[in-house]
Amino acid sequence: MINWLYARANGGQFVLRIDDTDTERSTPAFEAGIIADLQWLGLDWDAFARQSERNACYEAAIQHLRDTDRLYACYETPEEPDRQRGLQRAAGRPPVYDRAGLKLTAAERAAHAAEGRRPHWRFLLNQTRVTWDDLVRGPQDVDAASLSDPVLIREDGRPLYTITSVVDDGEMGISHVIRGEDHVANSAAQIQLFEALGHAVPAFGHFALIVEADGSPLSKRLGSRTVQALREQGIEPMALVSLLSRLGTALPVEAFADHEAAAAGFDLASFGRAAARFDERELQKLSATLVHGLSADAAASRLGTELDPALWEAVSGNLERLQDIRIWQDIVAAPIRPVIDDPDFTRRAAELLPDGELDQESWGIWTKAVRSETGRKGRELFRPLRLALTAREHGPEMKALRPLIGRERTLGRLKGETA
């Protein structure tokens, strides 16, 4: 989403690329889920690609690296590098691959092959300093000698993310790569890979990762943090766009009604280095604010049903989710079982109901008469009337809601009838 906002704010293009070369972790269902989430958020794209359809491009890049002696075969088992890193840490040295594969003789490689070992392939880093001006973190300086040569190709021949993303970025003319700070460590190696393949190096920006409001790692309990889960909870898509477009920045968070407004004030330079704190209550508040701002026509269009403008005006300011309007549609137009604590009081209130049309003005006339007759006031007066008419403790102003319930339902409910 931050990439999308940056592209739209700067007149650029946004590319949706599905990284699906890892067949164990990539399925059509996952791709469909990503697309559905982005569409729900209202994020469109100018170009689309699947990495699984670009294998010829990766093979050409791999061959170029072989021809220029920047790719070498390694035969270690997965356990051997782990053991080596453990020994290096114990000795107080950085856990860097020792380039054992680069030192193998032709006879040793042949012996490994005879044993049935299949090599993985590493990119040979130039052990120089790599610098870039990060769009979020500022000037960065990494000594490539402190890095392990990255694996680009697995034992089964499949290219890994490091090379596929660089090839795609280079060939698609990607000018800006904006991602989480957990990818900072990849950047130095990727910059060298861009250069080795003859591609222009894009600008990089690494923003802080999101944490819970209390600073703890972001919870993923029962999938509650997925976009699909938030959608099912009734969160407005623009609430999520609004929050994430400003989360972790010095800019105030506000409920943007549309993407243009969110993009217009977007500034990548405003993102700080501190972890961005996600407060679900803030998201819910933004969502409710956006619901309150909808017109009756817009709400009806979203719901795909007819909607009484008077009902929307009466209750919209009390809704947390758009779909909650259906609760109030039932309360005013369908039979409900009233909650009666004091039947004598509500029965007497029914007898005092004014004649004629029940409008907003008649609420004050009625409650004044009930107060005068019974001596009740404040909560003791209004609570039993609300419970009888709506079966709820809280809700919209009764002077606007009661006329929508109608005279017959009002009288029936005050008498304890399901009406």
What pLDDT, in 10s, does the model give residues 74-99? Answer: 998 877 777 777 777 777 777 899 99
Confidence of residue 168 (pLDDT cuts 50, 70, 90): very high
pLDDT on residue 203: 97
The total domain count for the chain is 3
Domain check: are 253 and 284 in the same one? yes
Asked if pLDDT for residue 373 goes beyond 90, the answer is yes
Last residue of a domain, one of 207, 225, 246: 207
Last residue of a domain, one of 168, 188, 207: 207
- What is the pairing mode between strands 120-123 and 151-153? antiparallel
Average pLDDT over residues 58-86: 89
Q: Is 307 part of any domain?
A: no
How many CB atoms are closer than 10 A to CB 213?
Answer: 11
How many CB atoms are closer than 10 A to CB 232?
Answer: 11
pLDDT on residue 45: 97
Asked if pLDDT for residue 214 goes beyond 60, the answer is yes
Domain check: are 92 and 102 in the same one? yes
Distance, CA of 57 to CA of 188 (rounded, Å):
22
Domain check: are 85 and 196 in the same one? yes
- Tokens 């609300």 belong to 386
Confidence of residue 226 (pLDDT cuts 50, 70, 90): confident
- What is the pairing mode between strands 210-212 and 151-153? unpaired
Distance, CA of 193 to CA of 123 (rounded, Å):
8
Domain check: are 374 and 362 in the same one? yes
Range of the domain at 61: 54-207
pLDDT on residue 220: 66
- What average pLDDT does the structure give for the chain? 93
C-alpha distances in Å from residue 53, one per residue of 19, 163, 190, 196? 10, 15, 22, 23
Confidence of residue 185 (pLDDT cuts 50, 70, 90): confident
Q: Is 121 part of any domain?
A: yes
Q: How many residues would you count in the chain? A: 419
Last residue of a domain, one of 236, 263, 293: 293
Domain check: are 150 and 20 in the same one? no
Q: Is 309 part of any domain?
A: no
Distance, CA of 205 to CA of 137 (rounded, Å):
7
Distance, CA of 192 to CA of 142 (rounded, Å):
12
Domain check: are 9 and 97 in the same one? no
Domain check: are 191 and 250 in the same one? no
Query: Is residue 282 packed enough to be buried (19+ CB in 10 Å), middle (13-18) or exposed (0-12)?
Result: middle
Q: Which has the closest alpha carbon to 293: 260, 247, 254, 244?
A: 254
Asked if pLDDT for residue 162 goes beyond 90, the answer is yes
How many CB atoms are closer than 10 A to CB 146?
Answer: 12
pLDDT on residue 144: 95
Average pLDDT over residues 329-337: 95
Q: Which has the closest alpha carbon to 132: 70, 192, 209, 65?
A: 192
Report phi then psi at 17, rounded to 5: -125, 125
Q: Is 304 part of any domain?
A: no
Domain check: are 113 and 224 in the same one? no
Pair 296, 309: CB distance under 8 Å: yes
Q: Is 63 part of any domain?
A: yes
Q: Is 359 part of any domain?
A: yes
C-alpha distances in Å from residue 197, one per residue of 60, 66, 169, 378? 10, 11, 11, 77
Pair 341, 333: CB distance under 8 Å: no
How many CB atoms are closer than 10 A to CB 409?
Answer: 21
Asked if pLDDT for residue 102 goes beyond 80, the answer is yes
Asked if pLDDT for residue 270 goes beyond 60, the answer is yes
Q: Which has the closest alpha carbon to 247: 290, 218, 288?
A: 218
Query: Is residue 300 packed enough to be buried (19+ CB in 10 Å), middle (13-18) or exposed (0-12)?
Result: middle
Confidence of residue 19 (pLDDT cuts 50, 70, 90): very high
Asked if pLDDT for residue 258 goes beyond 90, the answer is yes
| Three state DSSP letters for 309-375 | HHHHHHHHHHCCCHHHHHHHHHHHHCCCCCCCCCHHHHHHHHHCCCCCCCCHHHHHHHHHHHHHHHC
Q: Is 250 part of any domain?
A: yes
Domain check: are 257 and 356 in the same one? no
Domain check: are 283 and 198 in the same one? no
- pTM of the shown model: 0.87
Domain check: are 97 and 179 in the same one? yes
How many CB atoms are closer than 10 A to CB 9?
Answer: 17
Q: Is 237 part of any domain?
A: yes
Return the DSSP state at 54: -
Domain check: are 201 and 75 in the same one? yes
Domain containing residue 193: CATH number = 3.40.50.620
